A and B are shown apart, each in its own frame.
Chain A
Amino acid sequence: MYYFVNENIFTFNSGTEFSAINRQQMFKKQGVKSKIITRNYNSRLHSDIKDHGLKDEDILSMYDFFQNATDIKVKHNKLRYSNIIDKRNYHIVFIDSNSSLIKYHGNTVAKVIIAPATLGEIGMIVYYDRFGNETSKDIYDSRGFKSKTIYFHPNGETGHELIYNISGEPVIEITHMFIEGKVFPTMYKLINYKGKNVRFNTENELFTFFMEEILSDKKDILINDRPSLIEAVANVDTDCNKYQVLHGAHTTDANLGGSNDGKVYENLRPLFSKFLNCYKGIIVSTDLQKHDLQKFFNNIEIFSISDFAVNYIEPSSVKNDKSSNKEMLYIGRLFEDCHIEHLLKITQFVKAEFKDVKLHLVGYFESDDYSKKIKKQIKDMKLENNVIIEGYKLGKDKEKLYQTSDVVISARNSDALGISMLESFSYGKPFICYDVNYGPREFIKNGENGYLVTQGKFHKFAANIIEVMKNSDKMNNSDYYKKLIDLFSYKKVIESWKKLV
């Protein structure tokens, strides 16, 4: 069994999770046993993974495991039918579709937060005292049972947490107390696990124990996708092999990955020092990165395996009507380090040629502040008619955006491989981005499947886009893309994975 170690599958995910999800789907399709395992508590996990095309059996969350809730059928828990509220003595007062208040003799004693993207399912209940303080909060699992209670300290900070099995018996107790004068989680305690209590100082220690509990066969393999879990995985006491996947460059300046001047990311340093011997190997996505790393670390095996697999997707007829609309697509995190501002400036230049050009921004914002900043910039640059903020898209919605685009772009400073680059190839679309390590440099051939542009050269970037748009036939050769994509097919990629054992 392959275990793909991760923190979480979120509602909104980044490349690391997409890569793990993609790998899980590929393994399943190719009949190789595997599971994603996650550390974080996520009451919406089973709802979120379904949105991303995974099934319950594709994932094993640590909390589910200890809650004995790995295989639970979804049960409705709608506020209006729920027996949690004694409706002979308490009023449910509707506020909006996201929340309702619970009143007793006219006083508000609780607030029910409806689970996101559901019709009236209880997500969370916050309880108030007679002074209006929040005293505690119950979290409900998307499968319909009470999963956790959070108690607050009188000053509003998290006090302690109880995590329940489906019979309502606590199975984990989390304590939040002082570490050098600041409140942090200070203890994770398993309650009555196999008849015993077991105490841990950190969530990662608990996670290590969890992995030791689930590994049952020497042939099991741990594939860690998260730098934050390097130590937790390293500490697992087992004969099973462990591998670390790098989903990004290993140096702060990706282009210095093979140079003595390159500065290794802080969160990867333990991997390359203290814990190097705990791992059987390191997995990167490109031969370029493998080559760079091997220069410095000749005492560990480094594998180059694509962190994403795709199959060629036949173009739909949507775009074939040759409408005059020119469409650009950026798909990825809407974060400051992804240089969304660069994309706006580039769009402005493209607009000079194509007045109605559209840039579709697909993804989730880093923060409200960043979202406001970008929106303001769009307004200031008078790009309201040219930039469309699509939000986080999956499935058919995402597919349609690829199908209708003329070119997919990115202004990031680095990419281990570049999921949107691969996806754009799989839809037969050219990809234009900066000339950076690793994926772009290794796979983009100027004038064939896109362009590499010197970082910060917006004019040149725009000129390349305009060129692609003007000569749409030139980079639209489906045979070319089919051949290119074959490198990343499920069949090819799984073969590389199988070599790991």
Chain B
Amino acid sequence: MNFFINARYNEKNSGIEHAQIKRAKLFRNNKVPFKLIFRDWNPCEHFYLNAADIKDDEILNMFDFFQETENFDHKKINVMDIDFGVSGLTYNDEPDNHRYIVMKDNAIVARVRYFDESISKDKQVSAVEYFDGFGNLYRVDFYDTRGFQSMVEWYTPDNKVATDVWYDTKHRPVLETYYRKNAKGKMEQSSWKIIEKEGPIKIVDNIDDVVFEFLNKVNDKYFSTKEPNVFVLDRTNVADWMVPKLHRPAYYVMHLHNSQAGDPQKPDTSILNNNYEFPLFTGNDYDAIITATEKQRKDVIRRFKPLAKVFTISVGIVPNEQFEQPRIPMSARKQNSILATARIAPEKQFGDLVSAMGIAKKEIPDISLDLYGYLDHSQDNRAKKEIDKAIKKYDLKDQVHIHGYTKDVAKIQNQYQIYGLTSIMEGFNLALMEATSRGEVGVTYDVNYGPNELVQNEQNGYVVDYGDYKALGEKLIYLFKHKDVLQKMSDASYDLAKRYSEESVWNEWKSLLDDAKSGWSTKLNDYREPIKHGLNQMEE
């Protein structure tokens, strides 16, 4: 079985989760089993993943695993389904607070919260706050969107959480954590208890140890002598110290979703990206390392000389049906238009892109730029301020348009001619891949990793020196003045997208999976099962 390890999945996610979802569908289409592993407890996780067309059976949340609720039959729990053990209750709905107040005569019995309309229009219960007969709030039950009591917070008399308990569907406690004061007097999680159905009770210090128990159980459950379990660490910090320490052998994969170098312009000497420091120091414990681009693969091999095999596997995938759609010629798109879709954040340096456009404006008066993405207000609105400064300098007020985040990226990408990118660094840049695969011509700084590979210089766009926005401006002028070159490069963009077709990317994965299989018998030979005989029937 193939496992992709991550921490969490929410309503809004980052590139790593998007890449995982695309990969999941690729595996599904190729009928190779997989599960997306998430560590964090999240009662809405299945809801959000289902919305991304991931099926329950493809999700393996750690808490679900202990609770045996991975494939729970969805049901809707409403306030009347909650059994308070008290008769003659009154229920007062408070729609503004998304809750019911449940009373017995004049005493409060419970507050029942329900999910807001973005999740359910049926006032499905999300949490129940229970009061005892003396008016104490003593526990709060949290419900999963699938309709079961998932976690219970037990309160102290002075209204602090003392214990969190996760139950299975028969209400048996299976996992617990306790809150106690540390030496400094601050409450923190002080211990975890795992209660296994077969009997064993395990006490561990922290959630990392719980993950270790969990991954061992997963590895045991899916263990096969035919092929190894493959663990792809998409978020390395969830489990990096557990590599390669699971009790039974497995095939461990480090996935570099970002530059391994803190300064990607200096891949050979820069301090390491903090997320990859531990994994790279222990890099020889892995069986494989995945980079998203060939350039990154070469940099990793040159600098670290790892013993693990390094595979380039694209994180972006262009779906088959997209290749069947008619190509849209440059003439059918908005003339002299530039698009960028990204978080409007300082590291994206959109001020540079606007400046390049300003330079081009002298020759192309009707040039325009549309930005789609969340506005990042960090560093005192630096991103927006830089954009505004460039707009003012080049008088682009009516030609630069900042839009919010859009979900309908495909439609937009078909309307523009050039995709511009001036970031400090990238791990791959799914947006650029999607734009070029829809025929846009890329114009980008030479940054690691992704842009300088997605855009092949002079084939489907231009890669200019990092920071040289003037050169970028010149390329814009050239392209908009030479419509034949623009069209030719657009054709090349469509053609080069084949690098990221389902078939191409699957072949990359297949070579990794083949490697895992081919080395499996050797790994198995080195492994010894623990003693099983003579340990259970002893005399005094």
Contacts and interface: CB of A to CB of B under 8 A. Distances in A.
A271 interface: no
A159 B163 contact: yes
B162 A159 contact: yes
Interface in A79-115: 80-90, 102, 104, 107, 109-110
A197 B134 CA distance: 18
Interface residues of A, number: 57
Given A175-B132, A178-B134, A104 B180 contact: no
B73 interface: no
Interface in B124-156: 132-134, 136, 138-139, 154-156
B478 interface: no
B129 to A, nearest CB: 14
B526 interface: no
Contact of A127 (B132, B173, B193): B193
Interface in A331-388: none
Interface string B58-92: 00000000000000000000000001111000000
Contacts of A201: 132-134
Contact of B199 (A82, A159, A170, A179): A82
B134 A199 contact: no
B540 to A, nearest CB: 7
Contacts of B198: 83
B202 interface: yes
B203 A128 contact: yes
A286 B69 CA distance: 64
Nearest to A86: B200
Contacts of A84: 199-201
A135 B157 contact: no
A160 B156 contact: no
A125 B201 contact: yes
Interface in B408-464: none
B204 A104 contact: yes
Contacts of A85: 200-201
Contacts of B118: none
Q: Which of B86, B180, B202, B203 has the most CB of A within 10 A?
A: B203
Interface string A155-169: 100011010100111
Contacts of A86: 200, 202
Nearest to B540: A119
Interface in B188-228: 190-191, 193, 197-205
Contacts of A189: 85
Contacts of A199: 84-86, 133
B536 interface: yes
B193 to A, nearest CB: 6
Interface in A18-59: none
A178 B158 CA distance: 9
Interface string B519-540: 0000000000010000110101
Contacts of B540: 119
A294 B527 CA distance: 85
Interface string A128-150: 11110101101000000000010
A153 B178 contact: no
Interface in A185-201: 186-187, 189-192, 196-199, 201
Contacts of B154: 151, 159-160
B203 A110 contact: yes
Interface in B162-189: 162-163, 170-173, 176, 178-183, 187
Contacts of B183: 131
B203 A197 contact: no
B160 interface: yes
B112 to A, nearest CB: 15
Contacts of B156: 153-155, 159
A169 B183 CA distance: 36
Contacts of A90: 202
A169 B139 CA distance: 19
B529 to A, nearest CB: 11
A154 B157 contact: no
A104 B203 contact: yes
A169 B172 contact: yes
A214 interface: no
A85 B195 CA distance: 11
Contacts of A463: none
B205 A130 contact: yes
Contacts of A104: 202-204
Contacts of B180: 129, 131, 133, 135, 154
A187 B170 contact: no
A500 interface: no
Contacts of A88: 530
B136 A186 contact: yes
A175 B190 contact: no
Contact of A130 (B83, B85, B170, B191): B191
A197 B172 contact: no
A487 interface: no
Interface string A195-227: 011110100000000000000000000000000
Contacts of B138: 160, 175, 177, 186-187
Contacts of A129: 178, 180, 190-191
Contacts of B136: 175, 177-178, 186
A187 B170 CA distance: 21
A72 interface: no
B108 to A, nearest CB: 13
A74 interface: no
Interface in B267-302: none
Contacts of B202: 86, 89-90, 104
A130 B205 CA distance: 6
B190 A130 contact: yes
B86 A135 contact: no
A394 interface: no
A177 B132 contact: yes
Given A81-B536, A129-B191, A168 B132 contact: no
Given A131-B182, A197-B84, A149 B173 contact: yes
Interface of B: 83-86, 132-134, 136, 138-139, 154-157, 160, 162-163, 170-173, 176, 178-183, 187, 190-191, 193, 197-205, 530, 535-536, 538, 540
Given A102-B203, A167-B170, 10 more contacts: A129-B178, A131-B183, A135-B180, A136-B178, A149-B173, A160-B138, A169-B170, A187-B132, A192-B171, A199-B133
Interface pairs A-B: 8 shortest CB-CB: A129-B191, A199-B85, A197-B85, A129-B190, A109-B203, A177-B136, A83-B199, A201-B133
12 contacts: A87-B535, A102-B203, A110-B201, A135-B178, A154-B187, A168-B172, A169-B172, A183-B157, A187-B138, A192-B171, A199-B86, A201-B134
